[in-house]
Structure 1
Amino acid sequence: MSAFGQHGAQEFRATVEDDGLEDYSMVDYPEADYYLLLGLSRNPPPTDAEIRSAYRSLSLSFHPDKQPSHLRHAAESQFRHIQDAYDTLIDPKKRVVYDISGAEGVRQEWGQLGAMGIGGEAQKQDVGVKTMSPDEFRRWFLKTMKKRERQAIESLVSSRGGITLGVNAASMVSVDEDEDVQFHIPSPRVTTYGVTYNFDTPVALPQLWGAAERHPDSQDTATEYSEDGQEDGSQAVHMTLSTGITGGLAHPVQKATVEYEDGTEGEESIKMPPILAAQNFRLGASLSPNVRNLVGTKGIWAKHPFTLLRDSAVTFEGLLLPAPSLRTTITRNFVPVSGVAPFNVSVTSIHSRSLDETPPSFEVQVSRELFKKKIGVISWSSGVVNWPEFLHGWFPSLGMGIQSAFSSANEVGHLQIGLIAPAASPQAAMEVDEDEAETSGDFEDDHQHATKKHQVDQSAEAWESHLQVSPGGGALVLKYSRNLFSGKPADDPVKTEWSSEGYFPMPTMDEARAVRLELSAIASLDMSLSWTIKGIRRVGEYTRLGLGVGIADKGMMLTVTWRRLGQNIDIPILICPANEATSGATALTAVFPWLAYCAIEFGYIRPRDRKKRRQEAARRHRELKKLLPQKREESLQAIELMTEQVQRRQGREEAHDGLIILKAEYGYIPPTNKKPKDGFTEPRVTDVTIPVAALVSRGQLVISKKSIKFHILGFHDPAPLLPKRLKIWYRFQGRDHYVEAGDKEKVSCPLRAHLVSNPTA
C-alpha cells in the first residue's frame, strides 16, 4: 500500500507449488465491488437512472423491514453495503474518487483529514468544488493528490547529492609475458574523490505585466496552485543551487634520519596522514522561470514574435566558481506543416569569457520523431569562436590572452547525428482500449493479454546511436539497455503515483526483480574502443544497486553504484592498468562478476523469496479457510433474500422467451490436462444459480473480466487461492446453452457459440 494514498485493491501474489496450489494471483479487496454489488457494469458507465433502478430492485429483496425475523440481521448487513454502494455511485464526485482509489479512498477523502472533509483542500477553494463538473472535479482531485504526494516525497528528501570514491586496485589482475591472466588478493586504496550537493528552492517573483489569470481548474498542468486555490507565485520561478568538489587523495611520505642504539644512523620513510588535494571546486545555480506564468497570455505577449518566448521553456545556468559563466537555453516545439510530428528545437548560448576576448559560443539541437518510437537528433556546437580579424583593427582590445587560449584548447566545435529509441513506460504499454477489451471474445482476450505482456517485456528495451565529428577526430557512440531475467522491472518507475490520468501505484517488493542491463561502447576514428557493461537491481522500495565493468582510458574499471532518492554513491575501481588489459583479461574480468551475481541471485535470493511467498500463501490460505463457514452462511442468506425477486424476473424472461439461467456453479475444478496434486483431486464448487440470474438485465448477462467473481452478491470463495471457474447453463429462445469462464475471463450471454450442440462448446 502506498504511503501517499489508499487504493481500492491490495494485490497478494504467491507461488505455492509445494503446498499444492497453483501459481495464482488473488486480488484481496477489503469489500465487494460496488458496481458488482448493484449488478452494474463499469464500461460503459451506468447512468443515474440505471443506478437508481438497480438500487430499487435490490431494496425489494434486502430491505430489513420486509424480511422475516430470522433473516432481518442478515438483511441489515447486506442492505448497509447496498446503501453505501448506491450513495457512492449516485454522487458523481464520489464515483470519480471510487473509480480511482476505491471505497477506502472515498472514506478517507470525505473524512476529517481528506480533500473533501473538514479543513480539506475543497474548503480552501475560492470557487467551490461542488460547482465543478465530473471532468473538472477529476482534474482537480488528481492535481490535489499529486501535490499531496509531492509534499510527502519532499519530506523524505529535500536535496540531492553524490559521492564518488576512486579506488586503485590494479594489483588485482596481472598478465604475464605469455598473456596468462592471474587474479590476486588486491590491496586497494582510495586515490580520488568527488562530492556534489544541490537542492531546489522556489523563487517568489511578482507577475509581470499582462499576466493572464487562470482558473484553478484549468487544464494547464504547468501552473501550480497554492492551498487556497490561487496560483502559487513561488512556482513561477524555480532555482537549483549546486556545488561540488573533486580532487585526489595524496599519501605523503616523509624521510627522517633515525639514530639506532648502536650509535649508527639511517634513513627511514614515515607514512604521513593522507591529504585531500582539491583540483576543482564548482559553485553555481540554475534558474527555470515559467514564462507563461510570468508574462501571461494577453497584450503584447499574445502577438508574434513574443509568443515564441511565451510558449518556450527557458533555463539560466550560472557558474560562480571556478570561473564565472552563464548558460542560457531556450527550448520550443515547432510544427512547420500542420499534421506532422513537431520539431523540438533547443538553442543554448554560453558566456564563459569576457566579450573582449570571444563572442558567446552556441549549441543548437533539433529532434523529431522519425518513426514510431524512434527519435532523430542533430546537434551542433560552435565551440570557442574568435572575433573576426577585421574587427581587431577597429577594436584593438579584442582577442584572447595566452591563458584563455590555453584553457580553450579543448573547446572545439562538433556535429553530432543520432537516432534514439527510448524505452516506453510499462504502464503505457499495458493501457488497453476498454471498449475493445469488453467486446472481444475469450480467445481474443487471451491473445491480447499475451500481446500486451510481450509489449511490456519489449517496452523496457532502449537504444541510441550517435555519430560525432569534430576537428580533432570523431567517434561512434552506441548504447543499449533492457531488463534481464523475469520479475518486476529494475528501471526507475515514474516518480509520482498520481498523474493527470489517474492513480498508478508503484509495484510492490514481494516479487522477483529483474536486472537492468546497460551496455555502452565508444569507437573512435583511431580504432580505439572503450566499453561498459552495467547491471542495476532494485534492492528496496527506493534503493538500487549497480555493478559495472568496462575498459576506459586508465584501464579496466569495476564500478559499484548505490542510488536512493536522489542520493548517489559511485565507486570506480581500477583493477587492471591500460598497458596490461589484454583481451583475455577483459573477457575474464567481464564474465566473472556476472557469474558471481547469477549464482547469488538464482542460488540464494530467489529461492529464499519463493520460500517466503510460499509460507505467506500457506498462512493466508489457512486464514481464509477459517472464514469459509461464515462466508458460506452469508452467501446462503443473501441467496434466500433475493430468491423470490429473482424468480419473478426469470419468470418474465421466460414469458418473452428470453435469457433463463438453468444452473450455475462456481469454484475449483481439478485440471484435466494434468494429474492434480494430493489434496486437490476433488472439486470445490458452490451453487450460484440465483446470484447469476440476478445479474440478468433486459435479456443479457455481462460479467466483466476485471470483476472478481466471488465478490458478486450471493457468491463466496469456496476454494481460497485456487484457480476457480464459473459454469453457466442457460436457455435462450427455447435452446440450451452452456458457457464456462475463469476468474479473469469475461462472461457475455447469450452467444451463438454457447449452443450445446456446437462441438466447440
Structure 2
Amino acid sequence: MPDFAGDDDISAGYTQVMRYSDEADYYALLGVSKEAKDSEIRSAYRTLTLSFHPDKQPAHMREAGEHHFEKITDAYNTLIDPKKRVVYDLLGAEGVQQEWSHGGSMENQKVGVKAMSPSEFRRWFLETMKSRERKAVNSMVRSKGFITLGIDASSMISVDEEEGDVYVNVPTVKPSRYAVGYNFRTPLPLLEYLIGEARKDEEDAQAEDIEGDNQPSETSGIEMVISTRVAGKLQKLQQKVIDPSSQTEYLVDLPRILAANDVSIGAAVSHVFGDAAGAKGIFKRRPFSILNDSAVTANVLLLPEPQLETSIGKSIQLVPGTRPFNVNLTTTFSQSLFEILPVVGLQITKNVSNTKLALCSWSSGTLEWPLVIQRLVEPFFGLGLEEGAALPVQLSSLQFAFFSFPKQQKVVGDGEGEEEGDDEVDDEVKESTQRARQQMKTEADKAVSWNVQMQATPENGALAFTYGRNIFSGKAADAVVRSEWSSEGYYPMVESESRSLRLEVQTTVGLDFSLSWHLRGTRQVGEFTRMGLGVGIQSQGLVMTVYWSRLGQRLQLPVSVCSLEVVSAEAAAFVVAVPWLAYCALEFGIIRPRQRKERRKLMIRRHKQLKKQIPMKKAESLQAVELMTNQVRLRQAREDERGGLVITKAEYGYIPSDKKKKNNVAEPSVIDVTIPVAALFKIIGFYDPAPLLPKTLKIWYRYQGRDHFLQAGDNEGIKCPMREHYSFTSYSA
C-alpha cells in the first residue's frame, strides 16, 4: 500500500477522501456535457443502446449488458426529465430518489408544479428546500436563554505596592453575582387574523393566478417573543444565636440568598409588510401607506416599570441606482403623555460597500413639557413641579459607528465560469486568476473585521475600537450555521480538517483618557457548540470569563482575578499569557496531532475499502469494453478511411514522479482505456486503478495521417484534435 502523504498533505488527502464518491456521474455516463440539450442526450442514449442493449448481446454477455444498460437507462430517464435533472444537478442521484420517494417534495405534485418550466421549477424547488431547512433549524432554537454566574477570586493575585512584585496565591472562590435570562416564541393568531383580513382580497386575487405553484411550502405566522431577565447579587447572611447555658452569642452562616436588583418581563411583536400600498382597504390610504415595504415592532415591558416601545424600519433610496439608507424610528413611552414626553430615537445605517456599514443614531432622552404648558395643565391633571422632578431621567445621546465585516468567499460550483475554449486562454491569465482566487480564499479564511464607535452624552463620552480575526487554520469559530440552500443553488457543507480560533480585541477610551480593554478567544468544539475564554478590565477589576454557547443557549462564568486597586501591567500580562500558552499547548500538543492521526486512519481505511472494490470494478470495465469493442472498431475504421480522428492508444492511471520513483514510495498503476476513449470518452470502461492518488490520462491519436499525443490530469478538460498535439511520433511515454 503506498504511503499517502506527510503531515503537510493530510488536509488535501482528507478532503479528497470526504469527496470521493462511488456514485456514477450521469453526464459522464452518457458522454454529454452538463449544458447538453435534450436532443444530445437522446442521441447519446441511442448510441449507447447499440452497444449495451441486452437484446443485442450474445447469451453469455446478456447479463453484463443488462447490468450496464440499467445504469445507462437510469441516467437517461433522470437527465431527460427537466425536473429530475434540476434536482440531480443539486443533489445527485440519491437526492432524486429521495425527493421522488415517499415523504419527498415531489410525492404529490400540484398542477402548477407540473406545468412549470425548468427555470421556474428550479426557483420553486430551491425555495421549498430552503423553507424545509429553515423549519428544521428553527425547531431547534425556538427558545433562547443565558446564565451568568460571577465568581469572586480576587485573592488569586496580589501585588507588593513597594517593590511591585506580583504574587499568585491559592484563591478563596465564592459566587458573587448572577444573571438569568430566557425568551421563547409563541404564535400570535389574533394579530395575524386582523392583518390577514386586511389583505384577504389581495390574496384571493393572487390565488387564481398562482394555483399553488409559487406558494411557499411553509406559512410563517406572526409570532410574539416573550423575554424575562433576573439579575442581582448572591448575598451571604448571618444570624445571631445565643447559647442558653452560657449566654454566649454566636454568628451562624445562613444559605446564600438571591438579591435581585434587575428584574424585567416583556414581550415583543414584529411584522414585515410587503407591498402594503397595493393592498385594498385601510393600508392603501395615508398615513398607513407608509408601511409599504417596512418592518414594524412593538415591545411591551411589564417589569420593573410599564413601558411601551414602538419602532418602524424602512429603506429609503434617495437617488435611483444607489445603495439605500435604512432608517429606524423608535418611540418609547415610559410615562403618561400628560407627565412626560416619549423618548424618540432615530437610527440611520447605510452599506458603504458589501463589507462596510456606517451608522448614526440619536436619542432625545427624557424631555419634559415646557414650563408654560406644565402650569396650564397643572390645574386639570394635578401634575406638580416636584412630581415632575421625581420622574426618571434618561440622557440624550449621539453615536457614530463604522463597521467592517469579514469578506465572504463566494461559493462556486464545479466548472462555474468555464466556457468553451477555456483551454485556449493564455496560461498567465489562468495563473493570475488562480492566484486571485487563492488570495480571496485566504482573506475569507482570516475573516478580518473591525469597527469604530464614538458615543457622546451630556455627561460622558467614549471611543471604542474592536478588531477580530481567525488565527490558525480551519473552520471559523464565529461562523454562523450557514444555510446550505440559497436562491443560487445548493452548497453542502464540507467537513474541515481542523478548527480555527476567533480572536477579538476591544479597547475603550473615555473622555478622561481612562482605558479599558477586553481580549476574547472562541473556538468551535462541536457542530453547534462553541467555547471561549476572555480577559479584560471591568468595574470588578481584572476579570477572566469562560464562555459556552450552543444554538440559542449561553453560559458565562466571569471570574474576578484581582480588584482595580491592585491591577498592574505585570498582573494583566500574567493572566493573558498563562491561558494563551496553555491553549497553544493543548491545541498543537494534543488536539491537532490526534486529528491528524484520526484523518490518517480514515484515509487508510477508505483506501483499503476502495482497493477491495478494484477487482469488481475491473471486471465490470472489461465487460463494458467487450460490449463496446465491435461498435468502436467499426466507427474507427470509418474515421480512418476519411482521415478523421482515430484513437490508437490510451492509458489512464497513477504515474509517480521521479522523486517518488527513486524513493520507491509508490508503484505506477496504469490501465489500457483505448476502447472507452475511442467511444467518445465514455466513462463506461474506466475504473480507478489507484484510489485517492492523482491520475493522468495519456492519449495517442492519428488525425489526417499524422500522429498526435496529449496528456491531462483528472481535473483538466480534453479537446482534440489540436495543433499543439502534433509533436509526438512514437508510443514511448
The C-alpha deviation readout for 1:361-419, integer Å capped at 9, x for no partner, is: 1221212222452222221111112222332233225978768756744x212222222
Q: 1:334 touches 1:343 (CA, 8 Å); kept in 2?
A: yes
Matched, 1:541 2:534: no
Q: Which structure has the highest helix share of the two?
A: 2
Q: Distance in 1 between matches of 2:4 and 2:665?
A: 16
Aligned to 1:699: none
Aligned to 2:273: 291
Matched, 1:722 2:698: no
Aligned to 1:461: 448
Matched, 1:32 2:45: no
Matched, 1:712 2:712: no
Instruction: Say which of 139, 152, 156 aligns to 2:123.
Output: 139
In structure 2, relative to structure 1, the CA distance for the partners of 1:195 and 1:670 (3 Å cut) is: same
Q: 2:276 touches 2:293 (CA, 8 Å); kept in 1?
A: no
Range with greater deviation from structure 2 (243-252 or 291-300):
291-300
In structure 2, relative to structure 1, the CA distance for the partners of 1:685 and 1:160 (3 Å cut) is: same
Q: 2:236 touches 2:254 (CA, 8 Å); kept in 1?
A: yes
Aligned to 1:9: none
Aligned to 1:3: none
Matched, 1:68 2:58: yes
Q: Distance in 2 between matches of 1:435 and 1:22?
A: 26
Matched, 1:320 2:306: no
Q: Distance in 2 between matches of 1:402 and 1:720?
A: 86
Alpha-carbon deviation of 1:450? 4.4
Q: 1:164 touches 1:194 (CA, 8 Å); kept in 2?
A: yes
Q: Distance in 2 between matches of 1:565 and 1:249?
A: 28
Aligned to 2:99: 109
Alpha-carbon deviation of 1:747? 3.2
Please state whether the residue corresponding to 1:541 is helix, strand or coil.
coil
Please state whether the residue corresponding to 1:359 is helix, strand or coil.
coil
In structure 2, relative to structure 1, the CA distance for the partners of 1:748 and 1:326 (3 Å cut) is: farther
Q: Distance in 1 between matches of 2:263 and 2:385?
A: 23
Q: CA RMSD in A?
A: 3.2
In structure 2, relative to structure 1, the CA distance for the partners of 1:157 and 1:209 (3 Å cut) is: closer
Alpha-carbon deviation of 1:643? 2.6
Alpha-carbon deviation of 1:562? 1.0
Q: Which residue identity lines up with residue 650 of structure 2 in the other structure?
A: A
Instruction: Say which of 706, 711, 717 aligns to 1:740.
Output: 711
The C-alpha deviation readout for 1:84-111, integer Å capped at 9, x for no partner, is: 0010011111111111111111111111
The C-alpha deviation readout for 1:495-519, integer Å capped at 9, x for no partner, is: 43333333233343x6211111122
The C-alpha deviation readout for 1:664-722, integer Å capped at 9, x for no partner, is: 222211123x44596534211112222233336xxxxxxxxxxxxxx932211111122
Aligned to 1:573: 559
Please state whether the residue corresponding to 2:632 is helix, strand or coil.
helix
Q: Distance in 2 between matches of 1:217 and 1:695?
A: 47
The C-alpha deviation readout for 1:712-756, integer Å capped at 9, x for no partner, is: 322111111222222233445555444333323333444455443
Q: 1:139 touches 1:217 (CA, 8 Å); kept in 2?
A: no
Normalised by the length of structure 1, the TM-score is 0.86
- Residue correspondences, number: 710
Normalised by the length of structure 2, the TM-score is 0.89
Q: 2:112 touches 2:212 (CA, 8 Å); kept in 1?
A: no
Matches within 5 A, 1:101-500: 101-117=91-107, 120=108, 122=109, 125=110, 127-177=111-161, 178-204=163-189, 205-206=192-193, 207-211=196-200, 212-213=202-203, 214=206, 225=216, 232=219, 235-258=220-243, 266-292=248-274, 297-298=279-280, 301=283, 306-396=288-378, 397=381, 408-409=392-393, 411-426=394-409, 428=410, 434-436=416-418, 440-441=422-423, 447-459=432-444, 460-500=447-487
Range with greater deviation from structure 2 (351-360 or 640-649):
640-649
In structure 2, relative to structure 1, the CA distance for the partners of 1:394 and 1:431 (3 Å cut) is: farther
Please state whether the residue corresponding to 1:345 is helix, strand or coil.
strand
Q: 1:365 touches 1:379 (CA, 8 Å); kept in 2?
A: yes
Q: 1:17 touches 1:23 (CA, 8 Å); kept in 2?
A: no
Please state whether the residue corresponding to 1:641 is helix, strand or coil.
helix
Q: Distance in 1 between matches of 2:720 and 2:287?
A: 61
Aligned to 2:505: 519
Alpha-carbon deviation of 1:307? 4.2
Q: Which residue identity lines up with residue 20 of structure 2 in the other structure?
A: D
Which consecutive unaligned segments of at least 5 residues does structure 2 have?
Answer: none
In structure 2, relative to structure 1, the CA distance for the partners of 1:354 and 1:642 (3 Å cut) is: same
Q: Which residue identity lines up with residue 357 of structure 2 in the other structure?
A: I
In structure 2, relative to structure 1, the CA distance for the partners of 1:631 and 1:429 (3 Å cut) is: closer
Which consecutive unaligned segments of at least 5 residues does structure 1 have?
Answer: 1-13, 697-710
Q: Distance in 2 between matches of 1:485 and 1:438?
A: 39
Q: Which residue identity lines up with residue 406 of structure 2 in the other structure?
A: A
Matches within 5 A, 1:538-687: 538-654=524-640, 657-672=643-658, 674-675=659-660, 680-687=665-672
Q: 1:20 touches 1:680 (CA, 8 Å); kept in 2?
A: no
Q: Which residue identity lines up with residue 363 of structure 1 in the other structure?
A: G
Q: 1:284 touches 1:321 (CA, 8 Å); kept in 2?
A: yes
Aligned to 1:707: none
Q: Distance in 2 between matches of 1:398 and 1:652?
A: 109
Please state whether the residue corresponding to 2:401 is helix, strand or coil.
strand
Aligned to 1:11: none
Please state whether the residue corresponding to 1:499 is helix, strand or coil.
coil
Range with greater deviation from structure 2 (726-735 or 32-41):
726-735
The C-alpha deviation readout for 1:593-619, integer Å capped at 9, x for no partner, is: 111111101100110111111112111
Q: Distance in 2 between matches of 1:603 and 1:403?
A: 67
Alpha-carbon deviation of 1:316? 1.2
Q: 1:666 touches 1:724 (CA, 8 Å); kept in 2?
A: yes
Q: 1:236 touches 1:294 (CA, 8 Å); kept in 2?
A: no
The C-alpha deviation readout for 1:625-669, integer Å capped at 9, x for no partner, is: 111111111112212222333334444554565544333222211
Alpha-carbon deviation of 1:113? 1.8
Please state whether the residue corresponding to 1:171 is helix, strand or coil.
coil
Q: Which residue identity lines up with residue 680 of structure 1 in the other structure?
A: V
Q: Distance in 2 between matches of 1:403 and 1:679?
A: 93
Q: Which residue identity lines up with residue 423 of structure 1 in the other structure?
A: P
Please state whether the residue corresponding to 1:280 is helix, strand or coil.
strand
Q: Which residue identity lines up with residue 412 of structure 1 in the other structure?
A: L
Q: Distance in 2 between matches of 1:60 and 1:403?
A: 98
Aligned to 2:47: 57
Q: Which residue identity lines up with residue 57 of structure 2 in the other structure?
A: Q
Alpha-carbon deviation of 1:290? 3.3
Q: Distance in 2 between matches of 1:244 and 1:420?
A: 29
Q: 1:297 touches 1:310 (CA, 8 Å); kept in 2?
A: no
Alpha-carbon deviation of 1:358? 1.8
Q: Which residue identity lines up with residue 572 of structure 1 in the other structure?
A: P
Q: 1:61 touches 1:642 (CA, 8 Å); kept in 2?
A: yes
In structure 2, relative to structure 1, the CA distance for the partners of 1:526 and 1:131 (3 Å cut) is: same
Identity of aligned residues (%): 47
The C-alpha deviation readout for 1:185-232, integer Å capped at 9, x for no partner, is: 2222111111111111222222133552245997999x97466xxxx3
Q: Distance in 2 between matches of 1:621 and 1:220?
A: 49
